[in-house]
Amino acid sequence: MEQQYIDLYKQQHESIKKHSAAVMNDSRDDAFALFEALRFPTVALENYKYTDLKEPLSIDYGLNINRIPIPVNPYEVFQCDVPGIHSYLYFVVNDAFYPVNEPRNKALPKGVIIGSLKEVATTHPELVKNYFGKLSTTKNDGLIAFNGAFAQDGFFMYVPKNVVLDKPVQLVNIMRSDVDFMANSHNLIILEEGAKAQLLVCDHTVDEVHFLSNRVTEVFAGEDATYEHYKLENTHTKTTNLSTLLIDQHPSSNVLANVITLHNGVTRNTIEIDLDGEHCETLLCGMVIGDKNQQVDNFTSIIHNKPNCNSRELFKYVLDGMAKGGFTGKLYVAKDAQKTSAFQTNRNILLNKTAKMRTKPQLEIYADDVKCSHGATIGQLDETAKFYMQSRGIPESEARLLLMFAFTNDVIENIRIPALQDRIKLLVEKRLRGELSKCEGCVICQ
């Protein structure tokens, strides 16, 4: 499986580098060597127990190494319009930042840089160099290494000291191709001291081919910075979405990450948050609604390296059909991270006897003055509550729906952009009603 990519890199690494930036090329050969040693992860690896990539990786994907422009009008396929949300809007098509002349982006506060990672790495090499790969190159993971070898571009955002972005930034990833296609992209997000930003990432697929997206996002939240990261996945069942989100938190920073999978094929989210300063606040949330043959594995770890930090984690799954869910919640408290408070919850509902859920919360604690807990349940909707509603005249199907909606609601509550929250509420309700049994605007998912 790996061999074709290994051969490809060996033959094409010059072209790969030529169409990328020097800063990104610096670590490329090392990443490749690491990938050659590690290969793609299999279920035999403890960290990939619940992500089976055998099938998606057996497909023969094309790669756009020579950066041939993809003919697309993103506005035509862009379905992620959130009414009432005023945002700065950007597009990545497959793995390339897509320049559009968007009038609303002209109002960006001074000093903020948003654009193509490849280009900014050329125009501001020093800035990018200080951060690029600082998190990703330390990981011993085949997918991240693969990304390091093949990613040539991605999304870049820089918010200078004490600058507050008045509106959320919306990044729309569009997968568009006439043949089975693989995209590797690297996103880099930097918030300096006291900066504030919200990023909404939407994933969409357009064409009826197989897509595999392998994306690595690095986030650096400076001292006192506030960062919110929302990821909304609404793709078709032929999509494999491998997404790594690495966040480094400096003292007193506040980070919220909320990953919502509404519709997908195979999804693997690796989320790793390092608390590298005191008094950090972290809230990590996620939700999965899955049916058909969908697979979702959220592999998360929150690492408390310093004292006096608070973290909270909440993941909810509703699984129907033959869907397979996986969750890993690693909570690590280092020796000196006293006064840590960390709570984790994972609750799952199986609606069908062919749906499967596997969950693996973990506490690894080396400091004594801590308050840590985790709770995990796998079960069904509350029958008594359902009966209570029925006895008040609510039909069973509606009662089920209300209960499912209530079940997912606390994740949605943790969306701090009101217009987005409303929009997601609506989408979730539609999804639960079966009205969103395919991602909007595509025809593959039946």
Q: Does 45 bind other proteins (CB under 8 A)?
A: no
Least gap, CB of 139 to other proteins (angstroms): 20
Question: Of 369, 391, 393, 397, which one interacts with other proteins (CB under 8 A)?
Answer: 369
Nearer Cβ to other proteins (13/356)? 356
DSSP strand pairing (96-98 vs 88-93): antiparallel
Q: Does 382 bind other proteins (CB under 8 A)?
A: no
Nearer Cβ to other proteins (106/353)? 353
Nearer Cβ to other proteins (49/430)? 49
Question: Of 109, 380, 396, 398, which one interacts with other proteins (CB under 8 A)?
Answer: 380
Q: Does 383 bind other proteins (CB under 8 A)?
A: no
Nearer Cβ to other proteins (157/355)? 355
Nearer Cβ to other proteins (199/303)? 303
Least gap, CB of 175 to other proteins (angstroms): 32
Question: Of 38, 108, 322, 365, which one interacts with other proteins (CB under 8 A)?
Answer: 365
Least gap, CB of 301 to other proteins (angstroms): 13
Least gap, CB of 322 to other proteins (angstroms): 11
User: Residue 228 in contact with residue 72, Cβ under 8 Å?
Assistant: no
Question: Of 110, 353, 392, 397, which one interacts with other proteins (CB under 8 A)?
Answer: 353
Q: Does 362 bind other proteins (CB under 8 A)?
A: yes
Cα separation, 16 vs 160, in Å, equals 31
Least gap, CB of 378 to other proteins (angstroms): 4
Count of residues engaged in binding other proteins, rule: CB under 8 A:
35
Least gap, CB of 351 to other proteins (angstroms): 6
Q: Please choose, out of 68-76, 183-191, 373-381, 384-392, the segment that lies near other proteins by the rule CB under 8 A.
A: 373-381
Question: Of 128, 275, 355, 424, which one interacts with other proteins (CB under 8 A)?
Answer: 355
Least gap, CB of 359 to other proteins (angstroms): 5
- Residues near other proteins (CB under 8 A) are 46, 335, 338, 348, 350-380
